């Protein structure tokens, strides 16, 4: 049988997108996989030898939720997919009603210029005048004005969505311009929401555009989404995804979810008419540092355009009440191998927020930082050096070991001189390569994965001095060294 491995997991399995497993059951296939690639066992299973919550296993496009059927005999042409997270009643395939009531639709009118502007929509039988009025009456929140937000915001504006609120706390940087096509060179160092506002006004100045430059948290998200019909999740981190999901689930607001990583993307619709939420699919996010985010792992430039366009399409279908939706489904797209599949997401009766006995009843009560593994209160505090301190030690020629745990493509962009390369999954078995009598400093892009590396070695019993580069290599880019032998 074939095991297909999503891009976020491939570094743990020899960088393979698929593996042929000489097995006739799921359990044997997974055993073959982890035996062949021992580094993959840590990412696939938790300490109790259970498949981690952020990974779902599909067999012939059907999710396996009960491990007892892993021993059932399967035919040779079986396909297994390992699908990780990128962070009511049963869902139905029947079209849902429009999110916009008839009363709100009837309150909308068009002028002559709008009749001309939206002529292509008005010609479509499934949209027409009534549908275009629903679009104009709609109020949509887009969280994130980056790679995914760029196509979503522009297509919703071009389609005529009447009110668009964009929330993003970040500013435009030069590296954003490769994939965040809503911004231009002149927008560098400007707030992303300001750049997005200018682009929307250039598309259609009659749109009500609300620019919110702030970071969402449990204290403000409910106020920001209140009164809106739909939220489009265009974020790039697990903390924001679960925050959005929980707030929207509690307030009955549908979410159009999108995620990208390297060459792969996912799109789904959550919290719609008793359908599943994000936690039904992925009860909790991966441990911090185990799986890099899109910002760390990168993505090919057109990919957010593909995924964001599908998100905008789903949003418009929900506003119009037409077609078949991704409610209770995830569309998985692999742009490198030109494949796609639609996977069913079951409503989980044990879901902590939308299950039969929910344990999450308000946004404020959830400690999202702890949930996402951003706090380390249960770990021994990790000591570290600032970029300036490490640079001084390098200049002084101190006898120490520097370990780079970044991915190969990250090291290709920016190398760290005289560092040895050890992926996190290899640390335990390669710890003998480290000298416990020397200081060992771990480096990664932003300082999170290196903390995970240190805690992993400590757990394995390593007793030598371990330190983290605070802020990672990103924080060290502007450091000036006194000699050319050490530079970034």
Query: Which residues are identified as catalytic?
Result: 294, 444
What are the structure tokens assigned to 18, written together? Answer: 């698929």
| 277 Cβ contact partners less than 8 Å away, ≥ 6 residues apart | 245, 249, 255, 270, 271, 351, 353, 354
> Cβ-count burial of 316 within 10 angstroms (0-12 exposed, 13-18 middle, 19+ buried)?
buried
Indicate the helix (H) or strand (E) that contains 125: none
The HSE-up count of residue 316 (CA atoms within 13 Å, CB side) is 23
The whole-angstrom separation of Cα 297 and Cα 295 is: 6
Using CA atoms, how far apart are residues 252 and 314, in angstroms rounded to an integer? 17
Q: Which residue has the tokens 């297994």?
A: 80
Q: Enumerate the β-bridge partners of residue 260.
A: 265
CA distances from 122 to 119, 127, 322, 483 (A): 5, 6, 14, 67
Return the ∠ at Cα 322 (arms to 317 and 325), rounded to 5°. Answer: 60
DSSP 360: -
Q: Are 306 and 265 in contact (CB under 8 A)?
A: yes
The CA R_g of the chain, rounded to the nearest whole Å, is 24
Tokens encoding 300: 């090919």
Torsion angles phi and psi, residue 211, rounded to 5: -100, 120
How many residues appear in the chain? 488
Question: Exposure pattern of 383-398 as b/e (b: 16+ CB <10 Å)?
Answer: ebbebeebbebbeeee
d(CA 428, CA 441): 16
Q: What is the DSSP letter of 9?
A: G
Separate counts of helices (H) and strands (E) for the chain: 17, 18
């Amino acid at each position: 049988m074939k095991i297909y491995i999503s891009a976020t997991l491939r570094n743990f399995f020899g960088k393979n997108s698929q593996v042929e497993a000489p097995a006739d059951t799921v359990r044997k296939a997974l055993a073959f996989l982890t035996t062949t690639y021992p580094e993959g066992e840590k990412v696939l299973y938790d300490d109790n030898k259970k498949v981690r919550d952020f990974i779902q296993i599909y067999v012939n496009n059907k999710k396996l939720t009960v491990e007892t059927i892993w021993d059932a005999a399967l035919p040779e042409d079986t396909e297994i997919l390992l699908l990780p997270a990128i962070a009511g009643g049963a869902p139905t395939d029947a079209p849902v009603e429009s999110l916009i009531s008839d009363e709100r639709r009837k309150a909308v009118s068009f002028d002559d210029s709008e009749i001309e502007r939206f002529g292509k929509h008005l010609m479509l039988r499934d949209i027409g005048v009534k549908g275009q009025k629903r679009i104009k009456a709609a109020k949509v929140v887009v969280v994130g004005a980056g790679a995914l937000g760029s196509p979503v915001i522009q297509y919703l504006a071009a389609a005529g969505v009447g009110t668009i609120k964009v929330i993003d706390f970040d500013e435009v940087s030069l590296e954003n311009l490769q994939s965040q096509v809503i911004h231009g060179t002149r927008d560098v160092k400007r707030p992303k929401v300001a750049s997005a506002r200018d682009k929307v006004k250039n598309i259609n100045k009659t749109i009500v555009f609300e620019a919110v430059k702030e970071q969402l948290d449990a204290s403000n998200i409910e106020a920001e989404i209140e009164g809106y019909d739909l939220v489009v999740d265009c974020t790039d981190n697990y903390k924001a995804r679960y925050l959005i999901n929980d707030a929207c689930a509690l307030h009955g607001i549908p979410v159009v979810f999108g995620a990208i990583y390297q060459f792969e993307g996912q799109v789904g619709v959550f919290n719609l008419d008793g359908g599943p939420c994000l936690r039904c699919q992925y009860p909790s996010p991966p441990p911090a540092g185990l799986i890099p985010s899109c910002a760390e792992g990168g993505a090919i430039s057109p990919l957010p355009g593909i995924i964001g366009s599908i998100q905008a399409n789903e949003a418009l279908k929900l506003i119009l009440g037409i077609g078949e939706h991704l409610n209770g489904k995830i569309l998985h797209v692999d742009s490198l191998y030109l494949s796609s599949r639609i996977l069913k997401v079951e409503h989980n009766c044990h879901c902590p927020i939308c299950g039969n006995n929910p344990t999450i009843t308000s946004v404020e009560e959830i400690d999202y930082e702890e949930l996402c593994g951003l706090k380390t209160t249960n770990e021994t505090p990790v000591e570290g050096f600032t970029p300036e301190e490490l640079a001084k030690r390098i200049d002084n020629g101190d006898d120490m070991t520097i370990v780079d745990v970044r991915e190969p493509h990250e090291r290709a962009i920016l190398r760290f001189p005289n560092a040895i390369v050890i992926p996190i999954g290899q640390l335990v078995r390669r710890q003998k390569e480290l000298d416990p009598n020397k200081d060992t400093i771990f480096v990664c892009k932003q300082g999170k994965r290196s903390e995970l590396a240190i805690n992993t070695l400590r757990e394995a019993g390593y007793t030598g001095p371990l330190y983290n580069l605070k802020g990672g290599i990103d924080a060290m880019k502007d450091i000036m060294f006194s000699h050319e032998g050490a530079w970034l």
